[in-house]
A = this chain, B = another copy of it.
Amino acid sequence: MTQTRAVFYVSDGTGITTETLGHTLLTQFPNTKFVSERIPFVDSEQRAREVVEEIKKVGAEHETRPIVVNTCMDPAIGEILASSGALMLDIIEPFMKPLEDELQQPRERRVGAAHSIVDFDKYHQRINAMNFALTYDDGQQINYDDADVILVAVSRAGKTPTCVYLALHYGIRAANYPLTEEDLEHDRIPDRLRKYRDKLFALTIDPVRLSQIRQERRPDSRYADIKTCRSEVAAAEAMFRAERIPTLSTTHKSIEELASKVLSTLNINREMF
């Protein structure tokens, strides 16, 4: 019998940190079915008491003890939440004392500071990077001098989501170079990219998967045909090998994994937002 457990991600900010970590913890228990709810902006005792009622109600419905993943900075709120009877996983509190001792200073309780605009310049950089990724999404009219990274791949191999992720989370100016049929006739990278060798990262993909993705876009086209996909991918991979461009397949990789690999391969150490 599979248990169903209600999980509440309770935060005084956006709840993003809470859910990210909570989700990581729960992946270790794949045999339990979790039904989760995000409860952000819990920044008063009054609000905390309302949340307790919600937790009790949902717990009673599932007939199991709920789990609360809590990142509220105020311990008084944590105590109120605990009165719900849920299993409390307090994420922030256990790490504060070791940090206070090590840094020899008391913590400052900055509520919701993780995902608010703390540093305006950094935030602006991020939004600019995002606009950069979207504006030059088609690889046309772009000045690659301004790019931190240039992703090279055939059409629909996963360049755009990866570029947007890099921009949104790392403030990286990530540009796209979609390989054209003409490019693929040669096993050398296009001349236009030659002077940017150090910024290049190649993506590839399983041709069957590529064909599925292209089908959704242009059904029954030559573009989506498995033969076209096979020959484009083979030509692209031959080019990447000949030029020794770092290459990753997007077939079984998430955007996060791709972004993380691009940064570590190109040796870019940029703080996450």
Contact = CB atoms under 8 A, between A and B. Distances in A.
Contacts of A40: 260-261, 264
A248 to B, nearest CB: 12
A188 to B, nearest CB: 31
A193 interface: no
B24 A130 contact: no
A141 interface: no
B117 A102 contact: no
A25 B115 contact: no
A108 B26 CA distance: 10
Interface string A30-58: 11100011101100000000000000000
A178 interface: no
B117 A20 contact: no
B117 A254 contact: yes
Contacts of A125: none
A31 B104 CA distance: 11
B272 A38 contact: yes
A94 B92 contact: no
A266 interface: no
A27 B117 contact: no
Interface string A144-166: 00000000000000001100110
A214 B73 CA distance: 37
Nearest to A130: B161
Contacts of A98: 87, 89
Contact of A109 (B28, B94, B107): B28
Interface of A: 3, 5, 13-17, 19-21, 23-32, 36-38, 40-41, 65, 67, 71, 73, 87, 89, 91-92, 94-96, 98-99, 102-103, 105, 107-110, 112-118, 123, 127, 130, 134, 137, 160-161, 164-165, 168-169, 252-257, 259-261, 263-264, 269, 271-272
Closest 8 CB pairs of A and B: A115-B256, A14-B260, A27-B113, A24-B114, A28-B107, A19-B272, A14-B256, A17-B24
Given A32-B105, A123-B254, 6 more contacts: A28-B107, A40-B260, A65-B102, A67-B99, A94-B94, A112-B257
